[in-house]
Structure 1
Amino acid sequence: MSSTAVAALHRYTHVESPTGDPRALAELAELLESDAAAAGFGTARETHPTGDHLIWTLPAREVVGAPILFLTHYDTVWPVGTLASMPWTVDGDAIRGPGVYDTKAGIAALLAAVAAVDGPHPEIRVVVVADEEIGSPTATGLVESEARRASVVLGLEPPHPGGDLKTGRRGSTRGRITVTGVEAHAALDPLAGVNAIDELVDQLLRVREIGAGRPVLVNTGTIAGGGRTNVVAGRAHADLGLRFADPEDERVVLGDLAALRPIRPRATVDLRLLSHRPTWQPSAAGDELLARIAAVAAGIGQTLGGGPADGAADTNTTGALGRPTVDGLAPPGGGAHARTEWVSLSGIAERVALLTALLTRRGLSGT
């Protein structure tokens, strides 16, 4: 089974699939759907101009109850052409290449496990998102609707270092502050203008004050505006990345940001959320699910723990909904989003074995 997963990972890695490149994503989607159908899934898509989300269904066999939902994604942070300088290599236990760890190995492991399942199992549904790396702006509604009908949600994102699972995540929001000013000649009639860049700088100082004193991470990731040094800037914007450990901090800070008002007469200030993943705090339901997974792992000779994580994923959405959720079931490795990205060869075999065991245990489906 593990050799099948490694061979599939090799094929998936060589079809580069950056977020927002619909042509590249479509090529990998065709390959993934073919492999999913071979594993027994029925396949469907939710189409979007920036890339389609894949929805796979394996009907239940002799098990009654709500389905198990797996969440994963096939977009990566790596542009087409990265393979030329970051090729697929196998060095001892390390497989390297763009996207191997985050998270094409997770997809390969799941398909190998499902193909190996022989016996009773619950309905298995899988959502493979096309824009996870930018916050799943077009997938969140799909994830929510699928989660509401599932017994449990299992995320196929990378685990904690060492392989432990994830039982909570910081909230993650991307927002854009856009300022509109008034253009004018910067030397002949500067007072006729309103400088949007100056206004944006002052607004960013306010943003710093809003986040101060709370355990909130605020990062101004990009800033742009204006056009010429002899023209008072008429537009400017900044993109913010915000992380939250507590839902109340999230509510207050996002409310304060939405309430920003211009300092300069005739300027306008607008906040638009580019993506929003709510804070997923550890819960009794998640802890119980982790314990059930750990018991299944122990039955096949594996030891698993778990705890909350700093990074965000689609499981933020399901965990915040109160659905029993655990993430990190992709194979272990390291270097996510870095040129050192790698996934463990032996870890792939272990995760295939774990996923196969989970899918053949009635207890995980809640029946």
Structure 2
Amino acid sequence: MSLETLHRYTRLESPTGDRRALAAFAEVLEADAADAGFHTAREGDHLVWSLPARGVTGHELLLLSHYDTVWPVGTLETMPWSVEGDTVRGPGVYDTKAGLVALLAAVTSLRSSEQELPAVRVVVVADEEIGSPTAGDLVRAEAARATAVLGLEPPHPGGDLKTGRRGSTRARIEVTGIEAHAALDPDAGVNAIDELVDQLVRVRALVADRPVLLNAGTIAGGGRTNVVAGRAHADLGLRFLSRDDEEAVLGGLDGLSAFRDRAVVKSTLLAHRPTWRENDATTALLARIVRVAAAAGQTLGGRPADGAADTNTTGALGVPTVDGLAPPGGGAHARHEWVSAQGITDRTALLAALITGLHHQPAAGTSQS
């Protein structure tokens, strides 16, 4: 049944920003979530599902996932669904439609059970793949009342969980210059492209002595070679290991000033996820998850990851957070993307065990009452 569900979800291509495609997939997800026993609601384009507590007080489990992918509609034509042994391929199967399948299967398996469980909230974000620019407030609000957060992003290769993430910021530098004829009156103009190039060199110098990843992802400007460019912009991707570096670099971006008279330089944060450093709360939660997994016959470990997700937000807030609970596989954002069929079954069992048993696990160094 899990593979059939994943096949349905994969056929519903859902690239970030495609409102029609996302809406069609959201309707199917909400129907399946309701069938599994969730109460469903929406906050904008984001899906919010909840299960009431059953015999447990003082605990609320928050699970984070997303239903957008990086793949445009039509990708299935050249990257089709396939199953070969344990390997399932298709756009979005690993990141992270298999995680949604495992979660819904896990909750469905608990529907007729009389086991105790805490209150459960699930946020399924619509724009995670571009940094969740519209989901941050929702994630923060839900995290404020959660006692633990589980992320349904893909795990490390081999299946280990994620206990920290680099901070991730998408920023835009925009330059406004003055257009003029490039041959007859060049001094009357201010070239926005030239100014932007100098600004990019300045930003590169800003991160040069820091363990910061900087990628100039897109650049655009001007229009004709005989016209001094009046506008230019670049979109940057930044990844941070520490909050100190994050604050220094973002402060530098905010303080950019023009090299050229009459040029105007503006920097804007398009999306921002704070640095999530592994901490005692995360370590303790991981230890509890490892014990639950061991009781279910599964062996797990955990370590920080370079990629970013919505768990950056909850982890940075200090809420006990562990990510990577989607099924194992590989090739995220690559044409060879794949997920393990057995991994879906294993993660389904693990998620069911965590929902019903995580609150029974004492924090490290304490005894269970």
Superposition TM-score, scaled by structure 2 size: 0.96
Q: Identify the match of residue 69 of structure 2 among 76, 80, 83.
A: 76
Aligned to 1:106: 99
2:366 aligns to what?
Answer: none
What is the SS of the residue equivalent to 2:62?
Answer: strand
Hey, what does 2:132 align to over in structure 1?
A: 136
Question: Within 5 A, what are the aligned runs for 1:324-335?
Answer: 324-335=320-331
Structure 2 residue 86 is matched with structure 1 residue 93 = yes
Match of 1:122, SS state, is strand
Separation in 2, partners of 1:355, 1:57: 15
Q: 2:28 aligns with which of 28, 31, 47?
A: 31
Is 1:290 paired with 2:286? yes
Is 1:55 the counterpart of 2:51? The answer is no
Shift of 1:8: 1.2
2:309 is aligned to 313
Partners of 1:273 and 1:206 lie apart in 2 by 17
| Structure 1 equivalent of residue 348 of structure 2 | 352
| 1:328 to partner: Cα distance | 0.2
Is residue 43 from structure 1 mapped to residue 36 from structure 2 by the alignment? no
AA aligned to 2:63 is F
Structure-2 separation of matches of 1:64 and 1:81: 47
The answer on whether the counterparts of 2:220 and 2:232 sit within 8 Å (CA) in structure 1 is yes
Letter in 2 for 1:105: A
Q: 1:241 aligns with which of 237, 241, 247?
A: 237
Contact kept? 2:288, 2:362, Cα under 8 Å: no
Number of equivalenced pairs: 360
* TM-score normalised over the length of structure 1: 0.97
Paired residue secondary structure (1:116): helix
d(CA) in 1 for partners of 2:56, 2:108: 18
Q: Is the 8 A contact 1:122 1:365 kept in 2?
A: no
Q: Measured at CA, do residues 351 and 365 of structure 1 come closer, stay the same or move farther in structure 2, by a change above 3 Å?
A: farther
User: For 1:144, what is the secondary structure of its paired residue?
Assistant: helix
**Which residue identity does 2:33 align to in structure 1?**
A
Query: For 2:266, which of 270, 277, 296 is the aligned residue?
Result: 270
Shift of 1:66: 3.2
Q: Please state how far the C-alpha of 1:364 moved relative to its aligned partner.
A: 5.5
- Deviation string 1:1-38 (CA, Å, 9 cap, x unpaired) is xxx32221111001000000010000000000000000
Amino acid at match of 1:337: H
Structure 2 contact 36–107 (Cα < 8 Å) conserved? yes
Correspondence for 1:339: 335
Cα deviation 1:144-175 (Å, max 9, x = unaligned):
00001101000000000000000000000000
After superposition, the CA RMSD in angstroms is 1.1
- Whether the aligned pair in 1 keeps the contact of 2:65 and 2:124 (CA below 8 Å) is yes
Partner letter of residue 108 of structure 2? A
* CA distance in structure 1 between the partners assigned to 2:360 and 2:310 by the alignment: 24
| Matched letter for residue 37 of structure 2 | G
1:167 maps to 2:163: yes
Q: Secondary structure at the match of 1:229?
A: coil
Equivalent residue number for residue 251 of structure 1? 247
Which consecutive residues of structure 1, in runs of 5 or more, have no partner in the other structure?
A: none
| Runs of 4+ off more than 4 Å | 364-367
Shift of 1:363: 1.9
Aligned match of 1:210 = 206
Uncovered stretches (5+) of structure 2, i.e. residues with no partner: 364-368
> Cα 1:255–1:171, aligned 2, differ >3 Å: closer, same or farther?
same
Q: Of the candidates 288, 297, 302, which is equivalent to residue 298 of structure 2?
A: 302
- Report Cα offsets for 1:111-162 as digits up to 9, x if no partner: 0001111211001100000000000000011000000110100000000000
Amino-acid identity (%): 71
Offset of 1:284 from its aligned partner?
Answer: 0.4
Query: Does the 8 Å contact 1:5/1:111 carry over to 2?
Result: no
**Structure 2 CA distance, aligned partners of 1:18 and 1:6?**
21
1:6 to 2:15 alignment: no
Q: Is the 8 A contact 1:159 1:165 kept in 2?
A: yes
